[in-house]
């Protein structure tokens, strides 16, 4: 899911997660491998936000989904994994 600047700001405010800038060389490479998303990296791996199945009228929930893990402790490359939905839900309809 590609997020708008406003959606990214909401997620940053609610989770303190920082998106990889769209024009960053890393984001371009990740888009080639994983598709058109707004990406988030942390010490545990690579994440995206996807629409949650918990939608209610007037709400736009998105869930954090881990899509790749670091290959080694130096964190220089990642490997795709079976997507793991994490217990982080953000309502973008704010």
Separation CA 55–CA 49 (nearest Å): 14
Give the span between the Cα atoms of 66 and 64, in whole angstroms.
7
Number of domains, the chain: 1
Q: What is the pLDDT of residues 17-65, one digit of tens each?
A: 899 999 999 999 999 999 999 999 998 999 999 998 766 666 788 999 9
Q: Which helix (H) or strand (E) holds 27?
A: helix 25-34
How do residues 64-92 score in pLDDT, each as one tens digit? 999 999 999 998 889 999 999 998 888 88
Whether the per-residue pLDDT at 3 is higher than 80: the answer is yes
Strand, coil or helix: what is 61? strand
Q: What is the pLDDT of residue 93?
A: 83
Q: Structure pTM?
A: 0.86
Q: Which domain holds residue 14?
A: 5-91
Q: Is 76 helix (H, G, I), strand (E, B) or coil?
A: coil
């Amino acid at each position: 899911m590609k997020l708008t600047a406003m959606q990214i700001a909401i997620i940053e405010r609610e989770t303190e997660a920082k998106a990889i800038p769209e024009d960053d060389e890393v984001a371009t490479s990740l888009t080639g491998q994983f598709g058109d998303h707004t990406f988030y990296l942390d010490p545990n791996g690579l994440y995206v936000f996807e629409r949650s199945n918990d939608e209610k009228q007037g709400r736009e929930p998105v869930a954090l989904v881990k899509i790749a893990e670091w290959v080694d402790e130096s964190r220089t490359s990642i490997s795709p994994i079976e997507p793991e939905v994490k217990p982080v839900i953000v309502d973008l309809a704010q």
